Amino acid sequence: MRKIEQQIVTAVRDHKDLKVANSEVISCTNHSDVYLHGNLIARIGETYLELFDGGYQSKTTKSRLNALLSAFGMEGECVFQKNFQWFVNYNGSPIPFFSGMRLA
């Protein structure tokens, strides 16, 4: 995990706002929003994660989402790419990624 991703995870875990380089965490009452280049890429609540691609399925977006899934998701959950299409490994099965998907 990259240093910036560790800072993002810590800010979400501590319910603190953070702005570092191209990323930002905004803590709200019941959730935290994570932005990359001003685009929402994740919303983390007490019992759920919502994943977004922010309009860009880039390596950086995927890396940030995987850092968040590693910290707040279930074991083994991750975003991966196959034949230029994104998938989420959820409960051991690949499901097609779509922006706004919610994992509980």
Q: Considering the chain, what percentage of its residues have pLDDT values greater than 70?
A: 100
* HSE-CB of 1 using CA atoms within 13 angstroms: 16
Token digits of residue 85: 């299409």
Provide the 3-class DSSP secondary structure of residue 42: strand
Can you name the residues that pair with 82 across neighbouring β-strands? 85
Both structure tokens of 95: 């499901």
pLDDT over 90, % of the chain: 93
- Contact at 8 Å (CB) between 23 and 34? yes
Q: If 0-12 CB within 10 Å is exposed, 13-18 middle and 19+ buried, where does residue 8 land?
A: buried
Q: Is the pLDDT of residue 91 over 90?
A: no
- The model's pTM: 0.95
Q: What is the pLDDT of residues 15-64, one digit of tens each?
A: 999 999 999 999 999 999 999 999 999 999 999 999 999 999 999 999 99
